[in-house]
Structure 1
Amino acid sequence: MKKFTQSSIFIKLLIIQFLAIVYTCHGFDFFYFWPGSLCDAKRACCLPTSGKPATDFGIHGLWPTFNNGSYPANCNANSPFDGSKISDLTKELQVDWPSLTCPSTNSSKFWTHEWVKHGTCSESVLDQHAYFEANLNLKHSINLLGVLQLAGIQPNGKVYSLQSVRGAIKAGTGYTPVIECNLDASNNSQLYQVYLCVDKSGSKLIECPVLPKRKCASFIEFPSF
């Protein structure tokens, strides 16, 4: 009887550990969606081998995130990136989700990284094709560049108040963004990435349960694409 009890306890502990792993990898609460500038001006940038991408924000990724701001990563080693699964999206991805790292690439390394590190943690909701399609749909529906241009904020190297950029995005999308800045070659603060939050379906914007802390100056440059 004692052996049976110890065995039962051991099995229960294994089940608890398994469920904890499953929750950590798939029990996320929302997504961060990151439209990003195409090029970090302080670093070397190269056009992808597929050609010059659209004059627009690119995509950084769609990250499953917990309500406390932490996030799961690398959830399924048995689900590698498979370009054949998104072959119908490849041309669109090359335009809307390019990599400008050097040396020039066809951007698949970037997509691989985002799928393996973040996409695999959303597989309970989005398979590989649906994950990439969700990124594209969000980019098009938000139309971040159009939202800013409608407010007179252009990617022309001019300086705008951080408050006006944030306000324009809030007015255009209905939701509070987080603005991330970096420094250009002259150490001026410039618009780099925008964070918006998306529900667990990967399709609808929501107010962010937690806002990541990102630093920007009171006035920021909107670099030319």
Structure 2
Amino acid sequence: MGAKGWFIVKLLMFQGLFVSRPQEDFDFFYLVLQWPGAYCDTTRACCYPTSGKPAADFGIHGLWPNYKGGSWPSNCDPDSQFDRSQILDLVSSLKKNWPTLSCPSNEGFTFWEHEWEKHGTCSESVMDQHEYFENALKLKEKANLLQTLRNSGIVPDDGFYDLEEITKVIEGGIGFTPGIECNKDPELNDQLHQIYICVDTSGTEFIECPVLPRGRCPSTVQFSKF
């Protein structure tokens, strides 16, 4: 390559046009599952999806790459836009297991698009868009949270349950300690809202959490009806 060619290459590198974007690294995933009763039983607006009221079960909130230090990458690749054609075979399962509760009522594609572009694009080094959603669905099924809690008499009946017991029951079911997050209903009762389960960097296996989210739960929490 002549001097003129090298000059052009250097100019392109300087302008950021010749350098490929590096994949964002991360240490683990949080599989975040939310209880719809707690999401809806707040002052926040809640709308059922156009397919109707979701089943009374934990729904996927997201599969989020995280760092061991407690921070996380986000919006890693603006060029990797959500493409619904890549997940058409998963849509019926997504509607059931990853339903939207935001307003106005919609099919769910806006929710899934947000999760892919904010979180999924940071995991492209290990999975493409289809694998991202498929893995989350498989992990949710594997966790089987509601049945595990029911088997121990912890049911969504607006009753109050010991947080430590909830944690132990889930740990017994999945083999690892979960993170638990609560919110408040209009009467200021603390409700079981979200469960965080840690997943390895392949996005397929549960692991012990390198760091748990900061919980906002008292020793006793309400498991709201839905």
Distance in 2 separating the partners of 1:201 and 1:133: 13
Deviation at 1:183, TM superposition (A): 0.1
Question: Residue 182 of structure 2 aligns to a residue in which SS?
Answer: strand
1:25-64 aligned at under 5 Å gives the runs 25-38=23-36, 39-42=39-42, 43-64=44-65
- SS of the aligned residue for 1:205 comes to coil
Equivalent position amino acid for 1:48 in 2: P
Q: Are 1:41 and 1:184, in contact at CA under 8 Å, matched by a contact in 2? A: yes
How far apart, in 2, do the equivalents of 1:45 and 1:206 lie? 32
Q: How many residues align?
A: 211
Q: State the match for 2:168 in structure 1.
A: 167
CA displacement at 1:67 relative to structure 2? 1.2
Contact 1:32 1:65 in 2 (8 A): yes
**Which 10-residue stretch deviates more, 43-52 or 181-190?**
43-52
Which runs of 5 or more residues in structure 2 are unaligned?
1-6
Is contact 1:40-1:192 (8 Å) kept? Answer: no
Which shows bigger deviation, 44-53 or 180-189? 44-53
Q: In the TM superposition, what whole-angstrom CA distance separates every residue of 1:32-60 from its partner, at most 9, and x where no partner exists?
A: 11011123311221110022222200011
Q: 1:45-124, aligned counterparts within 5 Å?
A: 45-124=46-125
Identical pairs, percent: 51
In the TM superposition, residue 224 of structure 1 has moved relative to its aligned partner by: 1.1
The alpha carbon displacement at 1:124 in A equals 0.7
Contact 1:30 1:199 in 2 (8 A): yes
One-letter amino acid of the structure 2 residue matched with residue 89 of structure 1: L
Question: Partner residue of 1:198?
Answer: 199
Describe the SS at the equivalent of 1:26: coil
Name the structure 1 match of 2:213.
Answer: 212
- Measured in 1, the distance between the counterparts of 2:49 and 2:210 equals 35
**Which SS does the other structure have where 2:125 is aligned?**
coil
The 2-side partners of 1:52 and 1:187 are apart by: 25
Cα separation, 1, equivalents of 2:174 and 2:118:
28
Please tell me the residue identity of whatever aligns with 2:92: K
CA shift digits 1:1-36 (9 cap, x unpaired): xxxxxx9xx99x979xx79x62xx521111011011
> In structure 2, what is the Cα distance between the partners aligned to 1:160 and 1:212?
20
1:113-192 matches, cutoff 5 A: 113-192=114-193
Cα offset, 1:173, TM superposition: 1.0
Query: Structure 1: which 5+ runs fail to align?
Result: 1-6
Instruction: Report the TM-score when normalising by structure 1.
Output: 0.89
Shift of the alpha carbon at 1:218? 0.9
Q: Equivalent residue for 2:4?
A: none
1:141-198 CA distances to partner (integer Å, 9 max, x unpaired)?
Answer: 1101011111110011100011111111111111001110000110000000001100
Q: Which residue type is aligned with residue 31 of structure 1?
A: F
SS in 1 for 2:40: coil
Q: Which runs of 4+ in 1 moved over 6 A?
A: none
Q: Distance in 1 between matches of 2:217 and 2:168?
A: 15
Q: Distance in 2 between matches of 1:149 and 1:101?
A: 27
Structure 1: distance between partners of 2:207 and 2:182: 22
Residue aligned with 1:167, SS: helix
